[in-house]
Structure 1
Amino acid sequence: MSEITLVLLAMALGTDAFSMCIGIGMAGVRRRQTAVITMTIFIFHIFMPLIGWYIGGVLGNLLGRVAVVAGAALLVYLGGRMILAVWREGADNSARSMIDSLWGVVLLSAGVSMDALSVGFTLGTRNVNLLQAAGVIGLVAGLMTFTGLVLGRFIGSWIGSRAQMAGGAVLVGIGVKLFWG
């Protein structure tokens, strides 16, 4: 696999994290949270291909689908709460409380990293330096995560109170996309 192909694969795997982080950033995220979320997604995107390579396709597909459904449901719930809160009384802190907890960050990171699990199995069947591939996938996903959070925070401050509704809609959309596949 060429370096360009590997980077394109890594970018494709990082798009869910990027999109999700725009929504989270629009709801409001502190610098510490940005660092924690970026590092967690970075780590997940390194280890998921390695795990996928080691445990094989059958278990990876079974575990991957369960985690994707749970992650999708979580994003739809979180985005829905954000949208409803804007209509009811103003800002909702669901997204912020979710990313304040390490368990919440881990769940979100796992949800957007599941596709890397099955990619790991595929990479294991090819003549690929798996450690290099996992490192590139993690690095690109980490950069896309950071960019999404910063861009979302900028957009959120730019469009004001409508940012939370837009961020909620982004999270719901990503959750639906993850659920349907």
Structure 2
Amino acid sequence: MDIQHVIGELMTLIIMAFALGLDAFSISLGMGMISMRLRQMFYIGIVIGIFHVIMPLLGMAIGRFLSEQFGSISTIAGGLLLLGLGFHIIYSSLFGEEDSKIAPTGFGLILFSLSVSLDSFSVGLSLGIYGARTVATVVIFGAVSMFLTWAGLLLGNHVKTWLGTYGEVLGGSILVGFGLKLLFPF
């Protein structure tokens, strides 16, 4: 495998991680307006990063199993899954109801982390079908989501949530693009 292929794959993973992390970022913008200490913001970012490691890892394991069992049909299913997820994110961010506020501590933090990392499970499933590098994927997904969460929390302390919906639409659009890439490789 040549270096250009590896760099291309890593760049793809970083872009996907950024798209998935925008959900955590945009929600963190709103959460950042809640009065909280830097230590709590740090902890929230760590927990969300951990969930963005666990969820795609589970998805990739299931995706690899499906790929071995069903071959090229699973690649089409992975592409369709990314398309569906991307369109769902776009639709819910434009026309969905506002999420109810959950306190970012204890069980509320676990629930919040799980909700913003569910899309990582779906993408992990698609990447497992595609055969992406496991360690690189989960490390990149976890690190990017952690930093985007911190950025959202800190930025939320300084600005209003005007970027929230547009950030989610951008993230959904990127997932749609990767779904199309799986379905129509070029």
For the criterion TM > 0.5, the same-fold answer is: yes
Residues in 1 aligned to 2:23 and 2:17: alpha-carbon distance in whole angstroms: 11
Contact 2:14 2:140 in 1 (8 A): yes
* Secondary structure of the corresponding residue to residue 130 of structure 2: coil
The match for 2:111 is 107
Q: Deviations along 1:26-79, whole A, 9 cap, x unmatched? A: 12221121011100110010111101122457xxx9xxx9xxxxxx99x6222x
The match for 1:45 is 52
Amino acid at match of 1:43: I
Residues in 2 aligned to 1:40 and 1:25: alpha-carbon distance in whole angstroms: 16
Amino acid at match of 2:45: T
* Secondary structure of the corresponding residue to residue 77 of structure 1: coil
TM-score by length of 2: 0.62
The match for 1:9 is 16
The match for 2:71 is none
Is the aligned partner of 1:144 residue 2:145? no
- Please report how far the alpha carbon of residue 128 of structure 1 lies from its aligned counterpart in structure 2 after TM superposition: 1.7
Tell me which stretches of 4 or more aligned residues in structure 1 moved more than 3 Å.
none
* Secondary structure of the corresponding residue to residue 14 of structure 1: helix
- Please report how far the alpha carbon of residue 127 of structure 1 lies from its aligned counterpart in structure 2 after TM superposition: 3.1
Amino acid at match of 1:35: F
Contact 1:10 1:136 in 2 (8 A): yes
Residues in 2 aligned to 1:54 and 1:129: alpha-carbon distance in whole angstroms: 11
Aligned length: 138
Is the aligned partner of 1:36 residue 2:43? yes
Residues in 1 aligned to 2:62 and 2:133: alpha-carbon distance in whole angstroms: 17
Residues in 2 aligned to 1:27 and 1:49: alpha-carbon distance in whole angstroms: 29
The match for 2:34 is 27
Structure 1 gaps, min length 5:
66-71, 79-94, 156-162
The match for 1:83 is none
Please point out which of 128, 131, 136 is paired with 1:127.
131
* Secondary structure of the corresponding residue to residue 113 of structure 1: helix
TM-score by length of 1: 0.64
Structure 2 gaps, min length 5:
1-7, 67-80, 86-92, 173-186
Residues in 2 aligned to 1:106 and 1:145: alpha-carbon distance in whole angstroms: 14
Q: Which has the higher helix share?
A: 1
Residues in 1 aligned to 2:31 and 2:106: alpha-carbon distance in whole angstroms: 15
